[in-house]
Amino acid sequence: MNNEKNIDVNDDKTKRAKEYNRKKIIFSLVELGLLLCFLLMLIFSGLSLIIRDAAVSLHSNPYIQFLIYIIVLSLMELVIFTPLHFYTEYVLEHKYSLSNQKFIGWLWESFKSLAVSMVLFLPLLFLLYSFLRNFRDFWWVAVGILLFLFTVLLSEIAPLVIFPLFYKFEPIEEGELKKKLMEMCEKVGLKISGVFSFNISKNTKKANAGFTGLGKSKRIILGDNLIDNFTIDELRAVFAHEVGHYHFSHIWKLIVVGAISTFISLFIASFLYKKSLPFFGFNGIDDIAAIPLLFLFLFLYGLMTMPLSNAISRKFERSADKYALETMQGKKDFVSSMLKLKDINLADWDPNPVVEFFFYSHPSIKKRITMADEIYLD
């Protein structure tokens, strides 16, 4: 049976999903455009030079000057982007009946995200500045190594330290579900710290699952919305997909691919950065006023390589889907789980191919179900 025929592209829910996802893409583009304009404004208007000069007048220590500069830019960014984030994360999600958050809840989650970002990334920014001052033309090598080590460390500690700041994690209760899930893990030799549920429902009606962590922190997490709305066999299909990521070492592959891309981006940005400094009147690679110019080159590289990054991600997701289908030895529960995810998450069943190419890290639901139909023709 071809499951595509069961989808009415003209029904209200499908149209609503199209409308919701179209708005999400539009506002993602608006955010990218705002960030680009923000960087260009700092560089071309001379505002970055003004902020630097003010920081220099306030303190003689270059690192304190850098801190003042970063604080000013961060406050400007908050003023510019907070209204957009409020609309996309709160207003839009409520408009389409996908959010369970109260306004105070959104504020609290946003504050926690900001605090975590400061703790994680402020030290990285200071190290970047230190490398620019001390490693000169080879700063990009040191930064690339630092970011690789940071990615590995963050992947290992995030499930234990960061995720619990936002959600409550509890081990899956003993019973048929846990027994079947652990049997899947044993089949591929997957040693994990546990299978956990987390209270995603406190924020959203959407359902989600994931394979997280490295080493002893490896775990598979299932949102409570997923557990509440899916049958045991549908949960097994979702879980099998996550086990597939482990089976094919996707996390490590993505870390390696990301590291290679990071080194390439830093090398290219370093070359363009140094060559363009005199044009904008900056004093050298460690001139704090020039930092937005460096970020501009990194931003443009990320924008240009985003389709490739998403293509690699979609390839890994297809491999995990195939593994799940083979593990389940049939398509019934896989397909029904995909259809439920489509409805619960208000996913676009069949997005525009151009939009999917540029923005989707997962294949569309239609393509995932079509693959299941092609593998199992019954």
pLDDT in tens, 244-275: 988 898 888 999 999 999 999 999 999 999 99
Share of the chain above pLDDT 70, in %: 97
Query: Is a pLDDT exceeding 50 seen at residue 5?
Result: no
Mean pLDDT of 82-92: 96
H helix or E strand, kind and range, residue 219: strand 219-223
Strands, E, within 57-190: which ranges? 169-171
CB atoms within 10 A of CB 162: 14
Query: Is a pLDDT exceeding 70 seen at residue 1?
Result: no
pLDDT in tens, 316-341: 999 999 999 988 888 999 999 999 99
Strand order in the sheet with 219-223: 169-171, 195-198, 219-223, 209-212
Q: What is the pLDDT of residue 218?
A: 84
Whether this model's pTM surpasses 0.85: yes
Average pLDDT, the chain: 91
